[in-house]
């Protein structure tokens, strides 16, 4: 079995057919040009696996990853170089993701130098990139440990921007930062989106952050997308029981706008031992026999919303 099975990323479309694989199965969503798609779910649900597989930091052992029509899963590191100019990644921990022995100007120039083979050409752009994220040319001569967490995330953003990507995969980019700094970094990311026509795949467990920045939201549970919808729709009308539980339990959301409390039973099952059928059936208050026997697929429910739940076929089972 593959780590990821037939994951596709085509013209901003990522899809995987339903087949049980180890960490991620049944992932299907689009990232349109200039769009912020938030991928949400509890830790361990496979969000980072999806991110790293698209970015080819993880290599899927099977299946396919496509970006703008090009298969990238079998490309060698050298063949991947031009793909890296289309998508870049920003990481959660700006401490661990920057080389401590590299000066900031080299950190920022590196992806472009890899593309062009010319450090001097790449360095010509560095000052403008640093300025764009709010850092001085003089700061480019320093090392990562001389910066705060927020500044380091700015460095990571400048580095990602250096190759003019169309897509930035941001894995929990602000969750390690103080709340006041979070807003600054999010606002910077949104400004850059408008300026450069960037799309973001924004991975987060923080629903108030997601509400702030996302155009669309995809909810993951145990390696599957269970619901996807435009931001306002999913917050106002979540359909999947897991989405409803997640929203109703979010401490940071306005209580008046939360769905009715939905109590979940049991623990999150191990990703190595996925439940049969709907992988949420061990915790879902509405589960019945069919849920353990048959895996629900994402169905279009209108308004750009897709939900993977058998309740769509048998809504009378839902207790008001
Ligand atoms: Fe719950 Fe069944 Fe829907 Fe899964 S398919 S979310 S177990 S009602
Ligand atoms: Mg993660």
CA–centroid distance, residue 171 to ligand 2 (Å):
7
167-171 vs 199-204, strand pairing mode: parallel
With respect to residue 246, please indicate whether it lies within any of the assigned structural domains.
Answer: no
Per-residue confidence (pLDDT) for residue 48, from 0 to 100: 79
Q: What is the number of the ligand 1 atom nearest to the C-alpha of 318? A: 8
| Ligand closest to CA 49 | 2
- Is 43 inside a domain boundary? yes
Region of poorest pLDDT, from 49-58, 118-127, 235-244, 263-272: 49-58
Does 305 fall in a domain? no
Look at residue 174 and tell me if it is in a domain: yes
- Give CA–CA dist 314/296, Å, rounded: 12
Residue 8: pLDDT over 50? no
Cβ-Cβ contacts under 8 Å for 14 (sequence gap 6 or more): 7, 8, 27, 28, 29, 30, 31, 50, 54, 65
In a domain, 251, yes or no: no
In short, whether 309's Cβ falls inside 6 Å of ligand 1 is yes
Residue 224 lies inside a defined structural domain of this protein:
yes
Q: How far is the CA of 121 from the centre of ligand 2 (A)?
A: 35
The atom of ligand 1 lying closest to the CA of 292 is 7
**CATH of residue 73:** 3.40.50.300
Spatial CA neighbour of 6 closest among 73, 84, 89, 97: 73
Q: Is 244 in the pocket of ligand 1 (CB under 6 A)?
A: no
Please tell me the total count of domains within the chain: 1
Backbone angles phi and psi of 203, in degrees to 5 = -100, 125
Atom of ligand 1 nearest to the CA of 296: 5
Q: What is the pLDDT of residue 29?
A: 64
Using the atom order of ligand 1, give the atom closest to the CA of residue 284.
Answer: 1
Q: Is residue 155 part of a domain?
A: no
ipTM: 0.96
- Residue ranges making up the domain that contains 81: 8-86+165-238
Question: In this structure, is residue 66 part of a structural domain?
Answer: yes
Residues 226-267: pLDDT tens digits? 999 999 999 999 999 999 999 988 877 777 777 788 878 888
Q: Coil, helix or strand for 80?
A: helix
Instruction: Report d(CA 95, CA 105) in Å as an integer.
Output: 16
Q: Is 37 in the pocket of ligand 1 (CB under 6 A)?
A: no
Whether residue 308 has its Cβ less than 6 Å from ligand 1: no
Statement: residue 19 has pLDDT above 60: no
Q: Which of 165, 115, 158 is nearest to 12 (CA)?
A: 165
Name the pTM for this structure: 0.86
Q: Is the pLDDT of residue 73 over 80?
A: no
pLDDT band at 65 (very low <50, low <70, confident <90, very high): low
CB of 221 shorter than 6 A to ligand 1: no
């Amino acid at each position: 079995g593959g780590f990821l099975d037939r994951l596709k990323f085509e013209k901003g479309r990522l899809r995987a057919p339903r087949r049980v694989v180890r960490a991620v199965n049944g992932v299907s969503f689009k990232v349109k040009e200039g769009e912020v798609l938030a991928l949400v779910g509890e830790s361990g649900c496979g969000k980072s696996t999806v991110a790293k597989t698209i970015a080819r930091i993880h290599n899927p052992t099977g299946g396919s990853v496509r970006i703008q029509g090009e298969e990238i899963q079998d490309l060698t590191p050298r063949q991947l170089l031009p793909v890296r100019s289309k998508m870049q990644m920003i990481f959660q921990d700006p401490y661990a993701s920057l080389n401590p022995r590299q000066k900031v100007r080299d950190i920022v120039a590196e992806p472009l130098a890899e593309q062009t083979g010319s450090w001097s050409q790449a360095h010509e752009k560095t000052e403008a990139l640093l300025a764009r994220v709010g850092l001085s040319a003089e700061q480019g001569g320093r090392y990562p440990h001389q910066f705060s967490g927020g500044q380091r995330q700015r460095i990571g953003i400048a580095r990602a921007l250096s190759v003019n990507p169309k897509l930035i995969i941001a894995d929990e980019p602000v969750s390690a930062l103080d709340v006041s700094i979070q807003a600054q970094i999010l606002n910077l990311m949104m400004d850059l989106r408008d300026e450069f026509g960037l799309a973001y795949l924004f991975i987060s467990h923080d629903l108030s952050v997601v509400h702030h920045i996302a155009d669309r939201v995809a909810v993951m549970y145990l390696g599957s997308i269970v619901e996807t919808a435009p931001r306002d729709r999913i917050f106002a009308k979540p359909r999947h029981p897991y989405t409803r539980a997640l929203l109703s339990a979010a401490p940071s959301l306005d209580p008046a706008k939360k769905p009715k409390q939905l109590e979940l039973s049991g623990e999150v099952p191990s990703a190595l031992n996925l439940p049969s059928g709907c992988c949420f059936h061990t915790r879902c208050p509405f589960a019945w026999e069919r849920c353990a026997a048959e895996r629900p697929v994402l169905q279009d429910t209108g308004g750009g919303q897709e939900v993977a739940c058998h309740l769509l076929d048998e809504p009378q089972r839902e207790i008001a």
